[in-house]
């Protein structure tokens, strides 16, 4: 059955299409003479597991390629174009403005560049619904991120009627206790900024509990909630959606194997789940790969996939999502 897909958890810098990654690397002289495009891609697409902190290290080359407004705008447009072509009609694309600051580019200018890329995609695909999430970063408080994270919340408020739909706390969940960012979430509430929080990806169930208590309605990953039945019950009772990325969780060693991933257990307990790629370019996957994997390994049916997308559309921070909700509701009732 043909139905619109909803992806709420995709990092812009981790979603590089191969064609743009090669183009920018060649423009910047990063590819040694004699190295083919295919060989270069093999060196920079994950093929094995590593710790979450090691995964974060792979982003250095990606963010290094995105230190201009022109490239941020182009990448945003190209990523959205590819997602739309794959059947994804409701998208929240997230990025960290502070990761693109240099003498020629401010956080504000980075946000505006991404929004221009979004606008270009929306002009070309008028039935696409898309919002931008601005990521705060958990990199350790000693790295000066408190000021940048506060500024990120303020920028989300400034641009919330221009395409920015909320914020996220991303980065290395184990670098600093996520409770240390409570002030930024309190500021977001005062400014009317919606938010999701990376929690329970590499961290414990208690991190998911903290995220639930912030009343954002969504949790990035949240898979380690399965370690505490009370936290799972809280997710269900509070109607909190978990943005789950199975391949990403395996590659970053947040689960020991694909088969050990708790997506089926969480779903069967009544947790609402959104299926995502997280960093599709970095991991060499797309959303179809994740659906095929989850169907094969965990027995998800078409009707369950439609319901997952319906939950996701309802939990989206985007305006204009009602038409997607209506299409998914119709598809759900038609599906046996």
At residue 290, the pLDDT reads 98
Structural domains of the chain, ranges and CATH numbers in brackets? 5-334 (3.20.20.140)
C-alpha to C-alpha distances, 7 to 41, 51, 91, 134, 287, nearest whole angstrom: 25, 24, 5, 16, 8
Indicate the DSSP class of residue 284. Answer: T
Closest CA to 151 of 182, 118, 178, 188: 188
What single string gives the DSSP state of each residue in 30-59? -SPTT--HHHHHHHHS--S---HHHHHHHH
Residue with the two structure tokens 């949240």: 222
Predicted pLDDT at 61: 84
The neighbouring-strand residues paired with 175 are none
Please, which residues have CB within 8 angstroms of residue 56's CB and are 6 or more apart in sequence? 171, 172
Residue of 107, 118, 93 lying closest to 158 (CA atoms): 107
Res 172: pLDDT: 85
CB 216 within 8 A of CB 197: yes
**Each residue's pLDDT expressed in tens, for the chain with a length of 336 residues:** 689 999 999 999 999 999 999 999 999 999 999 999 999 998 888 777 877 667 766 778 899 999 999 999 999 999 999 999 999 999 999 999 999 999 999 999 999 999 999 999 999 999 999 999 999 999 766 555 789 999 999 999 999 999 999 999 998 888 889 999 999 999 999 999 999 999 999 999 999 999 999 999 999 999 999 999 999 999 999 999 999 999 999 999 999 999 999 999 999 999 999 999 999 999 999 999 999 999 999 999 999 999 999 999 999 999 999 999 999 999 999 997
Task: Kindly state the tokens that stand for 145.
Answer: 């991120």
| Per-residue confidence (pLDDT) for residue 148, from 0 to 100 | 93
* Geometric angle at alpha carbon 281, from 27 and 323, rounded to 5°: 120
What's the confidence (pLDDT) of residue 54?
74
pTM of the model: 0.95
- Only one residue has tokens 């789950």, namely 244
For the record, the structure tokens of 223 come out as: 């898979």
Longest CA span, the chain:
58
Q: Looking at the chain, list the stretches that DSSP marks H as alpha helix, in order from N- to C-terminal side.
A: 18-27, 37-44, 52-64, 69-85, 107-124, 145-158, 182-191, 205-213, 229-237, 246-251, 263-268, 280-283, 287-298, 302-315, 322-334
How distant, in Å, are the alpha carbons of 210, 217, 306, 324, 336 from that of 213? 5, 9, 28, 29, 37
């Amino acid at each position: 059955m043909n139905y619109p897909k909803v992806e709420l958890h995709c990092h812009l810098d981790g979603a590089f299409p191969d064609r743009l990654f090669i183009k920018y690397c060649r423009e910047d002289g990063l590819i040694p003479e004699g190295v083919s495009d295919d060989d270069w891609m093999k060196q920079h697409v994950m093929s094995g597991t590593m710790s979450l902190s090691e995964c974060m290290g792979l982003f250095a080359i990606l963010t290094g390629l995105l230190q201009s407004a022109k490239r941020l705008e182009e990448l945003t447009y190209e990523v959205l174009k590819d997602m739309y072509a794959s059947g994804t009609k409701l998208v929240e694309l997230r990025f960290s403005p502070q990761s693109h600051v240099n003498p020629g580019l401010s956080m504000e200018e980075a946000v505006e560049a991404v929004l221009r890329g979004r606008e270009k995609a929306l002009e070309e695909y008028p039935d696409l619904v898309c919002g931008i999430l601005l990521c705060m970063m958990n990199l350790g408080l000693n790295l000066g991120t408190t000021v940048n994270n506060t500024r990120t919340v303020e920028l989300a408020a400034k641009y919330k009627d221009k395409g920015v739909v909320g914020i996220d706390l991303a980065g290395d969940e184990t670098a600093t206790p996520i409770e240390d960012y409570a002030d930024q979430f309190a500021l977001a509430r005062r400014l009317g900024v919606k938010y999701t929080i990376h929690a329970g990806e590499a961290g414990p169930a208690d991190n998911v509990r903290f995220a639930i208590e912030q009343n954002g309605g969504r949790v990035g990953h949240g898979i380690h909630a399965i370690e505490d039945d009370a936290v799972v019950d809280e997710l269900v009772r509070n109607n909190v959606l978990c943005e789950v990325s199975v391949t990403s969780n395996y590659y970053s060693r947040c689960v020991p194997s694909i088969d050990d991933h708790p997506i089926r257990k969480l779903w069967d307990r009544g947790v609402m789940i959104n299926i995502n790629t997280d960093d599709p370019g970095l991991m060499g996957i797309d959303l179809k790969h994740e659906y095929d994997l989850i169907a094969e390994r965990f027995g998800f049916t078409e009707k369950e996939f439609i319901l997952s997308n319906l939950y996701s559309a309802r939990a989206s921070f985007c305006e204009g999502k009602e038409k997607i909700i209506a299409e998914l509701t119709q598809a759900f009732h038609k599906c046996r």
